[in-house]
Structure 1
Amino acid sequence: MPQVIKAYVRLTDKMSDYVGYLAASLIFVMGATLIFDAITRNVLNIPIHWAIEFTQFTLAAYYFMGGPITLKNNEHVRMDLWYANLSDRGKAKLDLFTVGCLIFYLGVMLVGSISSLQYAIETGERRFSMWNPSVIPIKALLTACLVLMLMQAFSLVFKHVATLRGEHL
């Protein structure tokens, strides 16, 4: 494989790792927020109205940001009925087909997320709740994570092609 492709794969994998580890730390943010909410509501009798919604936004960020590292580490769920019995080349061929489907899906999702983000920016879209937060940050994060997932999907294409060629990336 050309050096530029190897560099692309290394950079994409590194970005996916960084974003994934950052996503993992969001569990502590969610836990702390929910504990804070429980204490202020039940012990101090001072309900805060933003905690549950903030936790929902954080969970969405956790989900979006966890996608690229899950894809990189090959930890997605798959039917192992036939796959486990395939050779490495057979797995690479099947994975190329499924990654192609994934790239199409992510492309459609990216177009939709860009459109949704543009609408949110143009209208100043907010959630209809007592807290009334802007949805622009979470929609921007979704769009950025879809771009990173697409980058990771193309990285997988390069890895599978290398496997078919008898190389290793």
Structure 2
Amino acid sequence: MALLAWIDRINSTLGKLVSFLIWIGIAIIVWEVIARYVFNAPSVWAQGYTQRLFASYFILIGAFTLIQGGHVRVDLLLNTRSPRWNAFTDLLNVTVLVIWGAALAYEGWFYFEEAWQFGDRDDSALGHPMWPVHLALFVGVVMITVQGVVEFIRSAVLLVRPDVDVKRRGIV
């Protein structure tokens, strides 16, 4: 299905774009170290911004990591048997992922909405707004849940037809 390939492309693009947040975070940390130890002038803002950048990175990169097969797995149990068994265990895993993701997305929307409506701020000296972090949480969880649904469909196809390459033969 073209829709599954399209979702893969969106999540891959998002993952690649978000990966640049690491470089921004590194630049802020390097600036803070130089400012603190060379000029004896630490900033008030660097720690808060790097926390937000890395938190956003961590949650927004989840769907891309799922596509790449980078999440922690117990391969001893999952990849040592037949293709049907692997598809079955993947089906169970992504089912749990989708249930978890749906629940977290549901709650995440309310966290974002509340932070936006009430102007929620953290307790740092600068009082950073919390809504960007909650929005990143919501978007990241929605994207990993949607990617989980894609992986669920692929696993279901492989369970029925283990000889089909779901990523390369148009079934995607």
Q: Once superposed, what is the RMSD of the aligned Cα atoms?
A: 1.2
Structure-2-length-normalised TM-score: 0.90
Letter in 2 for 1:88: P
Asked if structure 1 preserves the Cα contact closer than 8 Å seen for 2:63 and 2:140, the reply is: yes
- Residue number in structure 2 paired with 1:53: 48
Alignment of 1:128-167 (within 5 A): 128-166=123-161, 167=164
Aligned equivalents of 2:44, 2:31: Cα separation in 1: 12
- Residue number in structure 2 paired with 1:32: 27
Displacement of 1:82 in angstroms is: 2.2
Asked if structure 1 preserves the Cα contact closer than 8 Å seen for 2:56 and 2:137, the reply is: yes
Displacement of 1:164 in angstroms is: 2.3
From 12, 18, 25, the equivalent of 1:17 is 12
From 89, 94, 112, the equivalent of 1:94 is 89
SS of equivalent residue, structure 1 residue 16: helix
Q: Does 1:67 align with 2:62?
A: yes
Aligned equivalents of 1:165, 1:100: Cα separation in 2: 17
Asked if structure 2 preserves the Cα contact closer than 8 Å seen for 1:8 and 1:155, the reply is: no
Displacement of 1:22 in angstroms is: 1.6
Aligned equivalents of 1:73, 1:44: Cα separation in 2: 42
Aligned equivalents of 2:45, 2:142: Cα separation in 1: 29
Displacement of 1:46 in angstroms is: 2.2
Which one is further off, 23-32 or 147-156? 23-32
% same residue: 26
Asked if structure 1 preserves the Cα contact closer than 8 Å seen for 2:4 and 2:150, the reply is: yes
Letter in 2 for 1:92: A
Aligned equivalents of 1:17, 1:81: Cα separation in 2: 27
Aligned equivalents of 2:94, 2:160: Cα separation in 1: 17
Q: Does 1:82 align with 2:77?
A: yes
Aligned length: 164
SS of equivalent residue, structure 1 residue 20: helix
Gaps (5+ residues) in structure 2?
A: 167-171
- Residue number in structure 1 paired with 2:169: none
Displacement of 1:72 in angstroms is: 1.3
